[in-house]
């Protein structure tokens, strides 16, 4: 009897772990160091249907990115660019929706309803946190109340902003090459 109970608990755990990770959406992000402990974030939410669960007409009523369970978001001091919000569907931005804490897009009045695999939404903003791969979580809530909680977002790249001294060095090198070429042509 004890072995059967352990087996059933194992099955419940595995099924729970699989269902908790089931989402046809993927959140990619890149981070650029702007200097002065400020980082620019570029986000792309993609319907890739990687789990095969998407159905035509499925809609999402909100997205929490930089999510954390009942604790402050790791995406601290995030400021979104209002001119860059996903157009149409999610028209407001808030910091929390209770149990989920983090920057949140919500529906006023419509849900986001992708029309096909590959549909995506882009937005950007800044934060004083540089979150490495595995540290940025997101949660989605569908129009039917189905949620995908605390999924790991995919960090796709990081691009440091060139320092002014680097740009000055590059510029003077190019001017030097142009002068050398001009001198070489005269000879």
Structural domains in the chain, sorted by start: 24-172 (2.60.40)
Q: Which of 15, 46, 22, 32 is nearest to 146 (CA)?
A: 22
pLDDT digits (tens, 9 = 90+) for 35-87: 999 999 999 999 999 999 999 999 888 889 999 887 888 998 888 877 777 65
Q: Is the pLDDT of residue 169 over 60?
A: no
Q: Which residue has the tokens 């000879």?
A: 187
66 backbone φψ class: left, alpha, beta (φ>0; ψ -120 to 50): left
Contact (Cβ atoms closer than 8 angstroms) between residue 118 and residue 47: yes
CA atoms within 13 Å, Cβ hemisphere of 147: 12
Query: Which are the contacts of 25, defined by CB distance < 8 A and separation ≥ 6?
Result: 45, 46, 47, 48, 60, 140, 148, 151
pLDDT at 11 over 60: no
d(CA 6, CA 10): 6
Confidence check: pLDDT of 160 > 90: no
Q: Which of residues 183 and 34 earns the better pLDDT score?
A: 34
Is residue 19 pLDDT above 60, yes or no?
no
Greater model confidence, 168 or 19? 168
Strands (E) across 36-99 are located at 38-47, 60-65, 68-69, 79-80, 90-96
Convert the pLDDT of each residue in 84-142 to its tens digit: 776 555 656 676 667 888 888 876 567 888 999 999 998 899 999 999 999 999 999 88
Q: Which two tokens stand for residue 160?
A: 């440091």
Q: What is the model's pLDDT at position 54? A: 92
Q: What distance in Å separates the CA atoms of residue 20 and residue 13, rounded to the nearest whole number?
A: 10
Bridge partner list, 125:
41, 80
Q: What is the pLDDT of residue 51?
A: 93
Quick one: pLDDT band at residue 8, thresholds 50, 70, 90?
A: very low
More confident residue, 178 or 133: 133
Which pairing describes strands 90-96 and 25-35: parallel, antiparallel, or unpaired?
A: unpaired
Task: Decide which of 4 and 98 is more confident.
Answer: 98
- pLDDT of 159 above 80: no
pLDDT in the model for residue 183: 56
C-beta neighbour count of 7 within 10 angstroms? 10
Asked if 161 contacts 35 with a C-beta cutoff of 8 angstroms, the reply is yes
Q: Regarding predicted confidence, which is higher, 171 or 149?
A: 149
């Amino acid at each position: 009897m004890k072995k059967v109970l352990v087996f059933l608990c194992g099955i419940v755990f595995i099924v729970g772990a699989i269902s908790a990770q089931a989402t046809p959406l993927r959140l990619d992000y890149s981070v650029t160091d702007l200097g002065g402990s400020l980082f620019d974030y570029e986000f792309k939410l993609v319907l890739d249907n990687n789990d095969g669960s998407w159905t035509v007409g499925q809609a999402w009523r909100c997205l929490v990115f930089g999510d954390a369970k009942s604790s402050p978001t790791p995406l601290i001091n995030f400021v979104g660019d209002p001119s860059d919000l996903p157009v149409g569907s999610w028209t407001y931005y808030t910091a929390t929706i209770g149990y989920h804490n983090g920057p949140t897009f919500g529906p006023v009045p419509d849900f986001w309803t992708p029309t096909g695999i590959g549909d995506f939404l882009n937005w950007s903003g800044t934060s004083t946190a540089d979150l490495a791969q595995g540290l940025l979580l997101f949660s989605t809530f569908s129009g039917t109340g189905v949620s995908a909680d605390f999924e790991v977002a995919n960090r796709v790249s990081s691009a440091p902003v060139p320092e002014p001294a680097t740009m000055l060095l590059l510029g003077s090198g190019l001017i030097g090459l142009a002068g050398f070429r001009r001198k070489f042509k005269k000879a």
